[in-house]
Amino acid sequence: MPNPAELGPNGKDLEISELRTNITIEGLLQDNHSSAAKKRIRTWFETKDAGELDKLRICGDSRVIPPNPDKEIIVNYIAGGSTPEPASGIVNNPGVKSAIIMTHFDGETATLKKPPKGCAGLAAKEVQIQNGKSNQKLDNYVEKHIWHPDPVVQAVISAEELACETEKPVLAATQDHRDGSIFPLAVMYPWNKSVITVAPRRIKKMLHGRRYIPEELYEEGIPTIDVDEGFKFYDFLEESKRRVLELKDAYPDLYEGSRVQNPSLIAWSTCVVSFQTRFPIIGDRPGTVFQVFVSRTKDDLDNLKISPEDLQSSLEQMEFPVKASLENHAQSRKSFASTNTILIDTEHFAHSVALALRFVRKERSIPRWLELPNHKILVSETTEGVITRIEEFKPR
In this structure, are strands 182-191 and 194-198 parallel, antiparallel, or unpaired?
antiparallel
What's the start-to-end Cα distance of the chain, in Å? 41
pLDDT of residue 15: 78
With residues binned 3-state (H G I as helix, E B as strand, rest as coil), the percentages for the chain, rounded to 5, are 40, 20, 40
For the chain, the average pLDDT equals 92
Average pLDDT over residues 332-338: 95
pLDDT of residue 299: 72
Strand partners, 273: 73
Q: pLDDT tens digits, residue range 60-112?
A: 999 999 999 999 999 999 999 987 555 557 899 999 999 999 999 999 999 99
Residue 124's closest CA among 136, 108, 116? 136
Domain ranges of the chain: 4-393
pLDDT of residue 170: 97
Task: Find the Cα–Cα–Cα–Cα dihedral 224, 228, 230, 234, rounded to 10°.
Answer: 70
pLDDT of residue 115: 97
Alpha helix positions (H), 265-391? 275-278, 308-328, 349-362, 366-371
Residue 258 has what DSSP assignment? T
All residues at 6 or more sequence positions from 340 whose CB lies less than 8 Å from its CB, including other chains: 23, 264, 325, 372, 373, 374, 375, 376
The pLDDT-based confidence of 135 (bands split at 50, 70, 90) is low
Rounded distance between C-alpha atoms, residue 94 and residue 72, angstroms:
13
Q: pLDDT tens digits, residue range 281-329?
A: 999 999 999 999 998 877 777 777 888 889 999 999 999 999 999 999 9
Alpha helix positions (H), 192-307? 201-209, 214-217, 234-250, 254-257, 275-278
In this structure, are strands 297-298 and 304-305 parallel, antiparallel, or unpaired?
antiparallel
Of 75-84, 130-139, 188-197, 347-356, the range with the lowest mean pLDDT is 130-139
Of residues 249 and 12, the one with the higher pLDDT is 249
Question: For residue 349, is pLDDT > 60?
Answer: yes
Strand partners, 343: 267, 378
Q: pLDDT tens digits, residue range 144-185?
A: 999 999 999 999 999 999 998 899 999 999 999 999 999 999
- Other CB atoms within a 10 A radius of the CB of residue 130 amount to 8
Question: For residue 9, is pLDDT > 50?
Answer: no
Q: What one-letter code names the amino acid at 125?
A: K
Q: Is 158 exposed, middle or buried (0-12, 13-18, 19+ CB in 10 A)?
A: buried
pLDDT of residue 209: 78
Q: pLDDT tens digits, residue range 225-272?
A: 999 877 899 999 999 999 999 999 999 999 999 999 999 999 999 999
C-alpha distances in angstroms, 187 versus 84, 233, 313? 23, 9, 27
- Answer yes or no: are the C-beta atoms of 119 and 344 closer than 8 Å: no
- Answer yes or no: are the C-beta atoms of 388 and 381 closer than 8 Å: yes
